[in-house]
Copies of this chain bind each other. A is one copy, B any other.
């Protein structure tokens, strides 16, 4: 480590002097009113003479006043902070994960809430810590597994909370997630409706299925069940994120379904990209020779070659809804039913971009 330059230390003092924080007393003094008037003028919780309000607002602007967060928490019983427990597991796709984290932060800001980030290392202890110190008003869980240890903790704490994803035991919890079953059925129904008779599913890393994640198996099982129900040939294979593994998966599909006419991919972007490369190399045209659908993808499929039909993973909608439900539990403007623990499944949407085509019976 090299200290390259010691540039001018215009600020050396320890605490933020120079830039002094104005208090409500300063505002009151400048505006020539009492502090309670300032407080009410800002909260709007009682009627204020127009002229008074204006003077207060001027003073606020002049002093760049912002209520002290600590005082507000202490008195207001509301911290306006939500904890986001966002473990990043090995098999979690980072870009997708990041999308959810940012979507939660954005949705929370719409209600004037900030997000405190809790990581893997501190999964349950961190949640417990911030909850018991009244640092946060509520808790959001990301990336939940079927037997997630954070679920019982949420029940124990009884704080406003929402889970993005669905653990096995949802008692007392508010959960939001894409309806993966319906998404799978949607893909199968469409393909079969178009006359496809041999449809394969290329899934995520095998580790994802073996372990904890709950939605990939949900998608897979619904896919296979629906294909069976409709009497078409079907086959599932996972794939790791490297060319060799992807090639192997395609070979396995070829072996199992010699007349393959449609492929659904529930996989990360690089994998989908590799598959398209391999198809191109083999001269297999999409959709003329093979219909392809990208399922529950968190990325834009219109950059792919070719652009793929997609049932998007609606991170924004899930996160927005999770925040809404947390706010409802906090008693903010909302339908009363939103405040009650329940599981909410988000309706999947099918977006056509031309990567599937009808098979006319030969």
Contact = CB atoms under 8 A, between A and B. Distances in A.
Interface stretch (A111-119, A224-232, A286-294, A354-362): A111-119
Interface in A94-136: 94-95, 97-99, 101-102, 105-106, 109, 114-122, 126, 129-135
**A-B complex: 7 closest residue pairs judged by Cβ atoms:** A70-B73, A94-B95, A70-B74, A69-B135, A66-B132, A11-B158, A66-B133
Interface stretch (A189-197, A212-220, A248-256, A339-347): A339-347
A277 interface: yes
Copies in the complex: 2
A3 interface: yes
Contact of A116 (B75, B115, B346): B115
Interface in A5-50: 5-19, 21
A158 B131 CA distance: 31
Dominant SS among interface residues on chain A: mixed
A74 B74 contact: yes
Nearest to A112: B129
Contacts of A132: 21, 64-66
A337 interface: yes
A305 interface: yes
Interface of A: 1-19, 21, 64-75, 77, 79, 81, 84, 88, 94-95, 97-99, 101-102, 105-106, 109, 114-122, 126, 129-135, 155-159, 170-173, 179, 242-244, 270, 273, 277, 303, 305, 321, 329-331, 337, 339-347
B117 A101 contact: yes
Given A18-B158, A66-B132, A133-B69, A342 B98 contact: no
B134 A119 contact: no
Given A2-B179, A342-B4, A121 B106 contact: yes
B117 A5 contact: no
B135 A121 contact: no
Contacts of A71: 70, 74
